[in-house]
Amino acid sequence: MTGGSASGAAPEPVHGTWEPVPAARWEDAFLSGNGRHGVMVFGDPNSDRVIVNHHRLVRPNGTETAGPPELADRLPRLQDRLLAGDTTAGAEFTDGRPLLWVPAFHPAFQIRLRRPAAEWRDYRRETDFTTGVVTAGCGGWRSEVFVSRADDVIVQRVTEPGLTVDVTLDHRLPGAPRELTVGHGCVLTAEGALLTLRARYPGSDLAYTGVTLAVVTEGRASTALPGLRVTGARSLLLLTRVTRHTGELDVLAEARELRALLPEPGEEDAYDRLLARHTRLHRTAYLRAGLDLGAEPAERALPGSELLRRPKSPALLERLFAAGRYHLLSSAGMLPPRLTGLWTGEWDTAWSGAFTTDANVNLQTASAAAGALPEVTEGHAALVHGQLPDWRDNARAVFGTRGVVAPAHTDGERGHILHFDRDYPLQVWTAGADWLLKPLVDHDETRGARDPRLAAALAEVATFYEDFLTRTDEDGRLVVVPSYSPENRPPNADVITLNAAMDLSAARHALRTAADYHPGPDAERWRALADRLPPHRVNADGALAEWAREGLEDNYDHRHLSHLYGVWPLDEINPYDTPDLAAAARRALALRGAENDSAHGYLHHALVAARLRDEPRVAAALDAVLAGDFFHDSLMSGHYPKRHVYNADAAHTLPAVLIELLVQSTPGRLVLFPALPAALPTGRLRGIRTRFGAEAELTWGPDGRTAVIRPGRTVHVDLQTPSGARPLALRAGEDCVLTLGPQ
């Protein structure tokens, strides 16, 4: 692991994690990835396993050709009944299909390396977050694995004097269908030993093929079907790729491509060259931002499993911030992270291992803009822009409109609305497009340029609302009907209803943001439409109501906080411009229960609390996650306490919470130290990007707090600190040092 400092300087946090034993469970396997391929490394000297994943590996299940429900002709009657007070009308707004799950994400296979059984000592398994290399070693044996961001290849080097090992590609992972048609190959070619595994899905023309090129230094390689035997070698280099395809894959062509990545025969620095090309990209991205909480060096040196037993340790938060940043970067690129990031060790992934867009995708990627990870935003943008044709189908089929409507659940390949039923009527959720485009808007603001693809998508969202928002109430205000607040329901009405707070916030934001990107007649029309939407409602408890429609009661014990979308990630409700609504939102947050203790619920709670400057609630939510046994030894997380259900929500969202409690920004505002817990008395946060084009570095301790703002463009912003507000003029290229009082 990297770490340490120059002589006389305070030691820095360790950028990695380690364990003194191999992984016994796939959930504890250490992770590496490049946003396309991913690996899970066990690190067993005698019987090592490297599970191979790829973002595009989803198992066909018959829904690939299914379209959205054709309901547009029924919409006027549904709207009439809901507006007339019929709280049960939504039950009939379906085409009768059962709940459909999208094709499930699954692993490809495991690379197995078996060597003669031997006792070993002085074992260590570790991940270096700055390089993405997972190493394991004891005695003279050493294994190193990374996934190249430069060359899109899984690289593994095993070294040992007189190395003897059998290598196979093994598809037999938990839940693999018996009907999977699998073929193995191992041939010695001019490029090196070539191992292949081809798997065809049951009842489908689709297949995937793994190709591993094995290059042996000294020693001897021979076929030992279904794999390869290496004897008396000094080192073994394995290069692996996975391809999803129809028909047959030309594996020899794949082998030649892999061999082309290596130097000429006789040169022995192949691994180092591959690593150097990869590290230039990975290290640069990972090190752009960092968090130092002044933890004790002895605690920083602990293995991750031991540190997890110390939930109050600043060293734990340092490592989880670093690990979350590393895992997020490693799982995003081709697409954003899935529910499981980019990794799974079994075929039966919970919720299909898909992209759940009504909460999880945005929570996991919440640190991308502020945390200086445009690579993550690129993956998010790829998901959105790749599915816009399907989103247009959704708008036409369900609502009879132009424009786009996003699904709440997708496998990453298709974006049709398929996943809905009586209790989860996700076919009527209209806020999804705005919710999914908001991180792309944040990215544009941060970099100071507008993506024309985003501008076009925003116009399509606004066009949808022009066609959809046609019904009004007795006061002449527009009504969002039908409406749905994921994934909650009023206790006194059906789940499909009117004027969910999230839908109102999303429609207002979408229309006004589209207007900002498209000045002119369209902008005037869209802003006028936004102004006709009703305001939020404050209920009898003094809380922001989840449904603005009078008479609809709130269900407080729920994991989702959809109704507080206006607080986070939007800036519609905040303590500075809308203090009364912010107070109502704070009351709504205080009344919200944890329901089933899901990690995303706690961390969503913390993000909203940070925006509302509610430090005690931020601290309580963090404590619940840190003390709830959510994290595996790999520092990947579980969806529920006690590491139940492998899931990336906690791991990927935690860095965003730690950033938000220290610094927040909009294009016209900078908020410093809004919700810093007393349990973190000392620290330094560096490399944070603001939405007005500046970089921020914060330090704090017993003697005071300092912020250094490095603007990339000249702007005037409103500065908010715990001691008050004042205007702040920033000039491009000139550092601004702000000295604040003690906490």
What is the percent of the chain where pLDDT is above 90? Answer: 94
Could you tell me if residue 455 is inside a domain? yes
Tell me if 486 sits within 8 A of 358, measured CB to CB.
yes
Asked whether the predicted pLDDT for residue 599 surpasses 80, the reply is: yes
Long-range contacts of 552-556 (CB under 8 A, 24+ apart): 552/490, 552/492, 552/493, 552/497, 552/498, 553/490, 553/491, 553/492, 553/493, 554/490, 554/491, 554/588, 554/591, 555/488, 555/489, 555/490, 555/491, 556/591, 556/592, 556/593
User: Where a domain ends, among 601, 635, 661?
Assistant: 661
Which pair of structure tokens corresponds to residue 207? 């297949």
CA atoms within a 13 Å half-sphere pointing along the CA-CB vector of 616: 3
Does some domain include residue 173? yes
Rg (CA), the chain: 27
Q: Classify residue 531: in a domain, yes or no.
A: yes
Mean pLDDT value of segment 663-683 = 97
Distances (CA, A) of 386 to 335, 391, 392, 412, 417: 10, 10, 12, 9, 15
pLDDT for position 716: 98
119 and 196 both lie in a single domain: yes
Strands of 22-108, DSSP E: 30-33, 37-41, 47-54, 58-59, 104-105
At 4, the pLDDT band (50, 70, 90 cuts) reads: very low
Name the one residue in this structure whose structure tokens are 């006690």: 642
Confidence class of residue 13 from pLDDT cuts 50, 70 and 90? confident
236 and 129 in a common domain: yes
The count of domains in the chain is: 3
Confidence class for position 121, pLDDT limits 50, 70, 90 = confident
Task: Residue 137: give its domain's CATH number.
Answer: 2.70.98.50
Section 78-94 average pLDDT: 94
> Which one, of 164, 214, 209, 161, lies nearest residue 182 by Cα?
209
Are residue 676 and residue 579 in the same domain, yes or no? no
One domain for residues 345 and 466: yes
Residue 76 tokens read as 């006027």
More confident residue, 21 or 121: 21
Domain final residue pick, 227, 254, 287:
287
Residues 427 and 574 in one domain: yes
SS3 assignment, position 164: strand
Are the beta carbons of 710 and 735 closer than 8 angstroms? yes
Going by C-beta distance under 8 Å and a sequence separation of 6 or more, which residues neighbour residue 144?
133, 134, 135, 156, 157, 158, 271
299 within domain boundaries: no
User: Does the pLDDT of residue 5 top 70, yes or no?
Assistant: no
Q: 723, 713, 617: which is closest to 661 by C-alpha?
A: 617
Examine residue 2 and state whether it is found in any structural domain, yes or no: no
Residues 355 and 483 in one domain: yes
CA–CA distance, 594 with 556 (Å, rounded to integer):
9
Pure H helices in 126-269: 251-259
119 — pLDDT class (breaks 50, 70, 90): confident
3-state SS of 514-559 is HHHHCCCHHHHHHHHHHHCCCCCCECCCCCECCECCCCCCCCCCCC
451-463: average pLDDT: 98
pLDDT higher than 90, residue 602: yes
498 and 532 within one domain: yes
Assess whether 144 and 67 both reside in one domain: no
Q: Tell whether the model's pLDDT for residue 160 goes beyond 80.
A: yes
Instruction: Tell me how long the chain is.
Output: 743
Taking the C-alpha atoms of residue 590 and residue 178, their distance in angstroms, rounded to an integer, is: 50
Residue 118 has a pLDDT of: 80
**10 confidence band (pLDDT: 50, 70, 90):** low
Q: Looking at the domain assignment, is residue 1 inside a domain?
A: no
Phi (first) and psi of residue 84, to 5 degrees:
-80, -5
Q: What is the pLDDT of residue 268?
A: 64
Distance of CA 703 to the CA centre of its chain: 37
**Based on the domain organization, do 212 and 276 belong to the same domain?**
yes
CA atoms of 60 and 208, how far apart (whole Å): 12
Q: Does a structural domain hold residue 696?
A: yes
Determine the average pLDDT of the residues in 588-612: 96
Q: In terms of domains, do 126 and 261 share one?
A: yes
Give the CA distances from residue 194 to residues 135, 212, 236, 353, in Å, rounded to whole numbers and listed in that order.
24, 6, 13, 31
Residue 5: count of CB within 10 angstroms of its CB: 9
Instruction: Please state the rounded mean pLDDT for residues 336-364.
Output: 97
Residues spanned by the domain of 693: 662-743
Burial of 528 (0-12, 13-18, 19+ CB in 10 A): exposed
Whether pLDDT at 1 is above 80 = no
Q: Based on the fold, state whether residues 360 and 500 are members of the same structural domain.
A: yes
Q: Which CATH number characterizes residue 389's domain?
A: 1.50.10.10
For the chain, counts of helices (H) and of strands (E)? 16, 30
Name the token pair of 572. 């519609």
Q: What is the pTM of this model?
A: 0.96
Going by C-beta distance under 8 Å and a sequence separation of 6 or more, which residues neighbour residue 724?
A: none
Residue 554 has pLDDT above 50, yes or no: yes
pLDDT at 8 exceeding the cut of 50: no
d(CA 335, CA 599): 22
Residues 614, 632: Cα–Cα separation, whole Å: 29
End residue of a domain, out of 646, 661, 676:
661
Reported as a single tens digit per residue, the pLDDT across 282-338 is 999 999 999 999 999 999 999 999 999 999 999 999 999 999 999 999 999 999 999
Residues 671 and 652 both lie in one domain: no
What band does 251 get if pLDDT is binned at 50, 70 and 90?
A: very high
Average pLDDT across the chain, whole number: 95
Structure tokens given for 406 = 């996003």
Confidence at residue 177, expressed as pLDDT on a 0 to 100 scale? 95
Q: What is the pLDDT of residue 743?
A: 66
- For residue 616, tell me if it sits in a domain: yes
Which residue has better confidence, 117 or 702? 702
